[in-house]
Amino acid sequence: MKVEPTDDSYNKAKPPIYRKRVEVETINTNKLSSEARREIIIGGAFVLLGTTTLFVLVPRSIKVPENIHNIALSPAMWPKAISIFIILLGTFVLANSFIELWRQHKKSSKISLNIFKINKHFSWRGSLAVAMLLPYYFTTNHFGMLLSSVLAIFIYMLIAGEKNIIALILMSLAFPTLLTLFFIHAAGVTIPLGPLELLIRG
Amino acid sequence: MLENIYDGAMLFFNLYSITALATGVIIGVFIGAIPGMSTVMAVAIVLPFTFALPPVPAILLLLGVYKGGLYGGSISAILINTPGTPSASCTMIDGYPLAQQGKARHALEMALYASCFGDIVSNIFLIALAAWLASFALGFGAPELFTLVVFSLTIVASVAGDKISKGMLSAALGLLLATVGTDLIIGSTRFVFDVTELRAGISLVPVLIGLFALPEVLKIYFGGNNSSAVPIKLDDKHIKLSDIKSVLKTLFRGSFIGVFLGIIPGLGATPAAFLSYSEARRNSKDPDSFGKGSLEGVAASEAGNSGVAGATMIPLLALGIPGDVITAVVLGAFMIHGLQPGPLMFQNNIDLIYAIFIGIMIGSVILFFVGKAAIPILGKLVSMRSSLLFPAVLVLCVYGSYAVNNSLFDVAIMFTMGIVGMVFVKANIPLAPLLIAFVLGPLLENNFRQAMLMGQGDFSIFFSGPITWVFWTLTALSLLSTIRGNYRKRKAWKKESVS
């Protein structure tokens, strides 16, 4: 069904039920076009990944002995086959989504062909939580797993919105300590402890 | 046969195995009950704790978590109208209205009985069918195994998401990741880039934790998984024997549906619960009560989703093919302990197979007692704040990833895969095909290359026997039916969006 233009003056002349239907159609069209844009990016990303793997990573990281005549013996054969598969499938997703977006654009000129026009919901908590993984990893390298985990659990609880200060302190101290003791004494895993090495292992 | 059962019993009846199984069930029930914490996540977190255990307790610990998780999900579904696991979403339809009517304990007990019933029926099928299927698969060579893995991959990739292409892209990435490390046939390295840790390949555990646990943790910071619902209080009225008798037919039907769908790789517990529910409603004397608080509805969905548990183990134990993500993890656990599930295991480690069979049967009994004892405690647990819970899970992920090889490099892999997992979740790309392809990748490649060597580079070896033709036909049928299903779904969705 053809999508009607959503011009206000045009709609105001129509009965409320009709206006409601036009609103729903607009939302659905936006949803379809937004999904198509997202899939174009996904397809493009996979085509890029496949191409980089096939033409850069495979030649640079896999040495194929010269005396190999049987295709099955080549260590590069399988990664190359998968890369080609990724490129083909990525191209299919890309083309399919582009056709879908073009179809939406033809239905309603308000639908932009700009593929980067996607709904952006910025979440500072989410971005901070992802970004904090990096310092967590590096502090583990330098100060051991226990100290960094105490700090990490405290910060992550704060970002998650925990306000009970007693719960914050108790949880961040007790949980990593118990876990460390379990892994060292029950599972026999050598947990890196950094400056606490002497204190915990004695 | 009797000797093998005796050996299996000797392997199972020790403190380690029974404690591991009971602990697994308890962990599964508790984690499954917490909204936002899936059974897969529970299995992923528990896996590193199995390294220090012998193979039988290690596998039973994971299977215990699986069984417990299937029931645990129903608790939050009934008490706070939020399913703990996706498969419990069907239980919610009648469970929550029952709780609102002051029959929360009724609903919880019916869910428990139905879960145990479905689980036992499923286990019986596992014991009866796995050995038969394994004896059939003993004659498989490299070409047959290759076509079998191709079939498993297509079915898993195609049912995992609403779009077949995205599922297959996810699986292709899993296959690519599986090639990292040293090539087994001529011993040269691939995608190693002078990083010593990568020579042995990417470990399964960090990939698994990164894909299935870390995104769940990160989701709460992006605004998901925040549950602060107040659970409905439990009453003192217990379920009667007559209530169970009245739904016996539904329990059997639901369990059989669960078993049937469980054997097919990739389908899992959620469709089984919904199919069982719709069949129960169709055959019910009082179909109008469904959705308004019907005990029969709760029984149907729980029997359906629990009937899957044992059945998914059939292709795993008999053919070495995981039917879903959890069995892929169990396959990983077998491998970590130097065992390769499949037909040869029924010849070389039959005592271990019987120990697992005994363990899973006893696990159903343990689930019954744990579930019954835990009902009052779980009522409080389901409302636990995610701000306390999920940061602790993050720390568990770090310790668990490190414990595999005592390597911080694995922690880095876990973080990377976690971010990849989060991107996939946001982009609506299914994660399950990636993991299953990552697990099956080496099997696929090795059998392909071995078959090519056998056939001296001639591709016709993959069409040389009747078994390969059977698997090619099944692969084609599975792909065609998925493409058709997706086309219909998309058409219906488009029609719906314009009408």
Closest by Cβ to B175, choosing from A42, A82, A93: A82
Q: What is the pLDDT of residues A23-73, one digit of tens each?
A: 555 555 566 667 778 888 899 999 999 999 999 999 999 988 877 777 778
Residue range A174-192: mean pLDDT, rounded: 86
Contact criterion met (CB < 8 Å) for B394 and A156: yes
Q: Which of A1, A25, A31, A61 to mutate to test the interface with B (most CBs of B within 10 A)?
A: A61
- How sure is the predictor about A22, in pLDDT bands with cuts at 50, 70 and 90? low
Residue range B232-258: mean pLDDT, rounded: 86
Residue range A122-131: mean pLDDT, rounded: 86
Which residues on chain A are in Cβ contact (under 8 Å) with B434? none
- The predicted complex's ipTM stands at 0.81
Out of B7-21, B49-63, B254-268, B295-309, pick the least confident.
Answer: B254-268
Contact in structure between B71 and B371 (CB atoms under 8 Å): yes
**What's the length of chain B?**
499
Distance from the Cα of B299 to chain A's closest Cα (Å) equals: 37
Contact in structure between B24 and B72 (CB atoms under 8 Å): no
Question: Which three-class secondary structure string do you get for A44-113?
Answer: HHHHHHHHHHHHHHHHHHCCCCCCCCCHHHCCCHHHHHHHHHHHHHHHHHHHHHHHHHHHHHHHCCCCCC
Contact criterion met (CB < 8 Å) for A70 and B457: yes
HSE-CB at A6 with a 13 A cutoff on CA atoms is 17
Q: What does the DSSP 8-state code read for residue A182?
A: I
CB atoms within 10 A of CB A199: 9
Distance from the Cα of A114 to chain B's closest Cα (Å) equals: 18
Distance CA B91, CA B301 (A): 6
Identify which of B48, B69, B63 has the alpha carbon closest to the alpha carbon of residue B17: B63
Distances (CA, A) of B424 to B139, B166, B185, B327, B416: 39, 10, 33, 21, 12
Distance CA B320, CA B341 (A): 5
More confident residue, A4 or B22: B22
Most confident residue range from A26-40, B15-29, B127-141 = B15-29
Most confident residue range from A115-119, A133-137, B97-101, B376-380 = A133-137
More confident residue, B49 or B266: B49
pLDDT at residue B427, rounded to an integer: 87
HSE-CB at A32 with a 13 A cutoff on CA atoms is 27
Sign of CA dihedral A11, A17, A23, A25: negative
**Which residue on chain A is closest to B163 by alpha carbon?**
A93
Contact criterion met (CB < 8 Å) for A189 and B406: yes
Contact criterion met (CB < 8 Å) for A63 and B188: yes
Residues 6+ apart with CB under 8 A from A154: A168, A169, A172
Residue range B240-260: mean pLDDT, rounded: 91
Contact criterion met (CB < 8 Å) for B497 and A28: yes
Contact criterion met (CB < 8 Å) for A126 and B218: yes
Identify which of B24, B5, B295, B254 has the alpha carbon closest to the alpha carbon of residue B118: B254
**What's the length of chain A?**
202
Residue type, B444: L
HSE-CB at B66 with a 13 A cutoff on CA atoms is 28
Distance from the Cα of B66 to chain A's closest Cα (Å) equals: 22
Contact criterion met (CB < 8 Å) for B192 and A61: yes
Identify which of B214, B147, B211, B245 has the alpha carbon closest to the alpha carbon of residue B466: B147
Query: Model-level pTM?
Result: 0.79
Q: What does the DSSP 8-state code read for residue A186?
A: I
**Which residue on chain B is closest to A40 by alpha carbon?**
B427
Residues 6+ apart with CB under 8 A from B486: B162, B163, B164
Question: Which three-class secondary structure string do you get for B264-304?
Answer: CCCCCHHHHHHHHHHHHHHHCCCHHHCCCCCHHHHHHHHHH
CA angle B387, B390, B395 (to 5 degrees): 125
Contact in structure between B318 and B356 (CB atoms under 8 Å): no
Out of B54-58, B185-189, B198-202, pick the least confident.
Answer: B185-189
Q: Rounded mean pLDDT of chain A?
A: 80
Residue B190's beta-bridge partner residues?
Answer: B181
pLDDT over 60 at B441, yes or no: yes
pLDDT at residue A16, rounded to an integer: 56
Distance from the Cα of A9 to chain B's closest Cα (Å) equals: 22
State the distance between the two ends of chain A, measured CA to CA, in whole angstroms.
Answer: 76
Q: Rounded mean pLDDT of chain B?
A: 84
**Which residue on chain B is closest to A64 by alpha carbon?**
B188
Q: Quick one: what percent of chain A has pLDDT higher than 70? A: 75
> Could you give the 3-state DSSP secondary structure of residue A132?
coil
Most confident residue range from A153-157, A158-162, B206-210 = A153-157
Distance from the Cα of B405 to chain A's closest Cα (Å) equals: 9
Which tokens is B42 given? 């529970």
Distance CA A147, CA A202 (A): 17
Which residues on chain A are in Cβ contact (under 8 Å) with B221? 123, 125-126, 128-130, 159-160
More confident residue, A202 or B252: B252
